[in-house]
């Protein structure tokens, strides 16, 4: 059997489990930006396809891979895969749901604290010899502690729940909006209260996004969404950049419609220097804290993810159904 990986070769080799089954599978790797011709040249006869979470897998590619049984995202995202085409051809599409929940939740808290404590401008001020100036100004302007902030989670899947668990330890009042409300027992476990989205936006000090990219969520953070937030509130996005209308967010930051944003992800990737958010002018110092989409890429995440992938490959090889199917087969 043959596995074609579209992604990073060093990562594929490093996290490949060592056992009898993995030794029996031929693995070939194409870089993430490989052309369709290059991909087919390397693995048109592959039984399995493992793709970086932001890779596009088209109907055209599937049609030229007659042995393909499974397309597996290396992460949680899978919106680049043509799910309908895969379903029509009887090809499973699977992801690693929940694998990075704890890691992304940590990054979410980091961004919240980084904004509240003005970490990036503070670091720069100390290096420039302005430590006392910034310290004295901070004492007058005030520094909010995380437990004093009402946090609103939009989405309450694995990452939303992991974030709620950490916020509960901080003692934050935590609210959430999800189209599917959790059971009362689960709400009590995570210390959360369900709230309508409009009310959540208007009342919370921090709004944190935890939803996948779908036709309904694409660009959901637009002018209307941002105007409903408190002017003193922060937006946190550790989900996907496609959830945000970058032009609308840029306007909100420059016009002080919201206090700031902590973003682990922008769109498109790779992020260019002229990105609407990355290129905010110096008139917006400290209002945006960016990280390079690293929330879910810890060593633990990749170890768990590749174990999940290879276990699914082994299930199919044994004639069984894989787990975490996302295309309805």
Residues 6 or more apart whose CB falls under 8 angstroms from that of 104 comprise: 159, 162, 163, 238, 264, 295, 296
Residues 73-103: pLDDT tens digits? Answer: 999 889 899 999 999 999 999 999 999 999 9
pLDDT at 252: 97
Residue 323 lies in a domain: no
Residues 166 and 67 in one domain: no
Residues 257 and 232 in one domain: yes
CATH label of the domain that carries residue 152: 3.40.50.720
The secondary structure of 81-95 as a DSSP string is: B-HHHHHHTT-EEE-
Over residues 297-310, mean pLDDT: 96
Residue 128 lies in a domain: yes
The residue written with tokens 């408190």 in the block is 230
pLDDT at 9: 95
Residues 44-66: pLDDT tens digits? Answer: 999 999 999 889 999 999 999 99
pLDDT at 321: 97
pLDDT at 282: 76
**How many domains does the chain fold into?**
2
Range of the domain at 239: 101-290
Residue 147 has pLDDT above 80, yes or no: yes
Q: Is the pTM of this model over 0.85?
A: yes
Active site (catalytic) residues: 240, 269, 293
Token duo for residue 93 = 């599409």
Residues 311 and 199 in one domain: no
């Amino acid at each position: 059997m043959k596995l074609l990986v579209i992604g990073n070769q060093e990562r594929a080799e490093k996290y490949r489990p060592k056992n009898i089954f993995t030794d029996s599978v031929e693995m070939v790797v194409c870089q993430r930006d490989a052309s369709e011709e290059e991909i087919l040249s390397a693995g048109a006869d592959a039984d399995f396809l493992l793709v970086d979470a932001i890779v596009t897998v088209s109907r055209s590619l599937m049609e030229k891979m007659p042995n393909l049984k499974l397309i597996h995202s290396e992460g949680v995202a899978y919106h680049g895969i043509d799910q309908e085409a895969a379903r029509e051809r009887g090809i499973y599409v699977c992801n690693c749901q929940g694998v990075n929940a704890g890691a992304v939740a940590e990054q979410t808290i980091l961004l919240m604290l980084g904004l509240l404590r003005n970490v990036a401008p503070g670091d720069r001020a100390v290096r420039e010899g302005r430590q006392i100036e910034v310290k004295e100004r901070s004492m007058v302007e005030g520094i909010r502690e995380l437990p004093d902030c009402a946090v609103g989670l939009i989405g309450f899947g694995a990452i939303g729940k992991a974030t709620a668990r950490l916020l509960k330890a901080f003692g934050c009042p935590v609210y959430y909006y999800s189209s599917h409300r959790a059971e009362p027992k689960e709400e009590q476990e995570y210390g959360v209260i369900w709230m309508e989205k409009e009310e959540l936006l208007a009342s919370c000090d921090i709004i944190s996004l935890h939803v996948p990219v779908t036709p309904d969520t694409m660009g959901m953070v637009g002018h209307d969404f941002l105007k409903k937030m408190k002017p003193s509130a922060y937006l946190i996005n550790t989900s996907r950049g496609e959830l945000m209308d970058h032009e609308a967010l840029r306007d909100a930051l420059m016009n002080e419609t919201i206090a700031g944003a902590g973003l682990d992800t922008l769109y498109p990737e790779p992020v260019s220097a002229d990105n609407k958010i990355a290129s905010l002018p110096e008139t917006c110092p400290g209002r945006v804290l960016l990280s390079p989409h690293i929330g879910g890429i810890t060593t633990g995440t990749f170890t768990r993810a590749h174990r999940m992938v290879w276990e699914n490959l082994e299930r199919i090889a044994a004639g069984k159904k894989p787990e975490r199917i996302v295309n309805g087969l």
